[in-house]
Structure 1
Amino acid sequence: MTLFEIIRISVGDVIEIALVTFILYQLYLLMRGTIAVQISLGLGALFAVQLVVWALDMTVLSTVFSYFNQVFVLALIIIFQPEIRRLLLVLGKNPLVRRLMRTSDQQEMIREIVAAVEALSNQQMGALIAVKQSTGLRNYIETGTPLHAEVSRDLLMAIFYGKNPLHDGAAIIGDRRVEAAGCILPVSTSMKLSPQLGLRHRAAVGLTEQTDAFVVVVSEETSNISISRDGALISNITPDELRTHLTNALAAGEGAGAKRASARAAA
């Protein structure tokens, strides 16, 4: 008979004990040097008294503690609010957690872009939005006004409002933020493009001829939505089609980025 059979501890129990120990140690590190340590000691002493009360079957004190237990969790949240906030910040900075949240953030960005483009189209407001992929767009970002703002429908609507000085240029989105607005993009000189296309459409194609960016165009004259990728232009698409194209483009861009990172690591 082995020691594990005598004590009746399974591998799962060992893993659970290790996890609990690790979590408690991390909580201690967060609370060390703060008043939370003294509060924890006080709560521990109170819990010990409660165990004694239950063991001795003290009716009155047991009733008092039962009322206390009903608000115990809420009291802990209020008392340890700063430590809980610090813990959440630490978790948020963890690379694994950030990777898990990345997809959710990307879907939110796509929703905001599509919502903005649909609203701009409905109001017949021209727009030019470039979404950075693996190729850097710093040269073009520096031609505009830096914003470094979170992507939102309202912000994109405000940028392309007719009386906004930035509305004639392009808004460039990178790393899920609007990096700059009023940016100047290279204009395509391709003879394959229709002569009826305006400057926005030619700029969209021009950028995608030189980079792997994904560009969305809203026509001020017709309110049609167009996209450009890899030097090609797809015109008159719906918001749902835009969502599909943008999702596929970003997914392909992330895959290409991962392959390049693996190649650099192997080299």
Structure 2
Amino acid sequence: MTLFEIISFGVRDIIEIALVAYLLFQLYRLMRGTIAVQIAVGLGALFLVQVVVELANMTMLSTIFSYFNQVFVLAVIIIFQPEIRRLLLLLGKNPIVRRFVNTTDQSQIVNETVTAVEQMAERQIGALIAFQRSTGLRSYIETGKMLQAEVSHDLLITLFHGQNPLHDGAVIVNDRRIEAARCILPVSTSMKLSPQLGLRHRAAVGLTEQTDAFVVVVSEETGNISVSRDGALISNITPDELRTYLTNALTNQSATADSTVEPTTA
């Protein structure tokens, strides 16, 4: 085998390198700002130590590392389970396929939601509304009280009223129906989020870190409207901006309002 044959590569190799680089970049984006980065650094340090041990031909340490290698893959899966889940979810989103899927008219649910959110913001009624998209939310729906009701602004306001026993937790909407209220959502542990954020905002981000749901939040303290998607929080938006974001989310369109409001963690 000649030197040229060893170092030569074709289009397939370029595509493979590009795919690996893309996957590593997406994995870094998912892990950035979380404790998983520190764990990854620790695992990388252990790997370097193992390389040194093998080069130095240290028999006892090599034996110890060989036992560690047997459970290494399982340990990585367990430790990085949230990040792996989010990465697989990202890879599972196929915009080409979505173009061939018929979407129902969501104008009514958008109008009812925006009307309810606007009124709750004015009255400083805290709210947390999650909209299911391609990822099923059954495990979260089952933690709440089943309703199976049509979406209306009056019902949403009533559910989040302080005197209502269902006001705590989230309302989950799927296919133009309120599936359940008082649902428990996962709370984000991302270090990128402001420590001033309450549980509602952290729960909104937590759900969108693990699924492709779209979540609307109304702050009880300030009345500010926020939305969360893809693990990002967009704060202090107007009802018109909410209408745009929600319409895009429910019709699986590209978020054309991205340039209107920048994501923030404040």
TM-score interval for Structure 1 and Structure 2 normalised by the shorter chain: 0.5 to 0.7
SS in 2 for 1:233: strand
1:251, distance to aligned residue in structure 2 (A):
1.9
**Conserved 8 A contact 1:133-1:253:** no
| TM-score of the superposed pair, with normalisation by structure 2 | 0.56
| Counterpart position of 1:124 | 124
| Counterpart position of 1:240 | 240
* Matched residues, number: 153
- CA–CA distance in structure 2, aligned partners of residues 233 and 131 of structure 1: 15
1:144 is aligned to 2:153 = no
1:149, distance to aligned residue in structure 2 (A):
0.2
SS in 1 for 2:149: strand
- CA–CA distance in structure 1, aligned partners of residues 126 and 203 of structure 2: 13
| Counterpart position of 1:194 | 194
SS in 2 for 1:216: strand
1:250, distance to aligned residue in structure 2 (A):
1.5
**Conserved 8 A contact 1:214-1:228:** yes
Question: Deviations 1:153-184 (Å, cap 9, x if unpaired)?
Answer: 00000100001111111000001100000000
SS in 2 for 1:252: coil
- CA–CA distance in structure 2, aligned partners of residues 179 and 168 of structure 1: 15
Letter in 2 for 1:245: Y
| Counterpart position of 1:156 | 156
| Counterpart position of 2:72 | none
**Conserved 8 A contact 1:125-1:219:** yes
Letter in 1 for 2:252: A
- CA–CA distance in structure 2, aligned partners of residues 199 and 108 of structure 1: 29
1:252, distance to aligned residue in structure 2 (A):
1.7
Map of 1:162-241 to 2, 5 A cutoff?
162-241=162-241
Structure of greater Rg: 1
Map of 1:12-31 to 2, 5 A cutoff?
none
SS in 2 for 1:180: strand
* Superposed CA RMSD: 1.4
**Conserved 8 A contact 1:141-1:179:** yes
1:108 is aligned to 2:117 = no
**Conserved 8 A contact 1:159-1:166:** yes
**Conserved 8 A contact 1:188-1:205:** yes
| TM-score of the superposed pair, with normalisation by structure 1 | 0.56
1:253, distance to aligned residue in structure 2 (A):
6.5
SS in 2 for 1:193: coil
Question: Deviations 1:109-133 (Å, cap 9, x if unpaired)?
Answer: 1000000000100110000000000
| Counterpart position of 2:263 | none
SS in 2 for 1:112: helix
SS in 2 for 1:195: coil
**Conserved 8 A contact 1:128-1:169:** yes
Map of 1:241-260 to 2, 5 A cutoff?
241-252=241-252
| Gap regions ≥5 residues in structure 2 | 1-101, 255-266
Letter in 1 for 2:146: P
- CA–CA distance in structure 1, aligned partners of residues 243 and 253 of structure 2: 15
Letter in 1 for 2:221: E
Q: Which runs of 4+ in 1 moved over 2 A?
A: none
| Gap regions ≥5 residues in structure 1 | 1-98, 255-267
Percent identity over the alignment?
A: 73
Letter in 2 for 1:109: I
- CA–CA distance in structure 1, aligned partners of residues 232 and 210 of structure 2: 12
Structure with greater contact order relative to length (CA < 8 Å, sep ≥ 6):
2
**Conserved 8 A contact 1:133-1:214:** yes
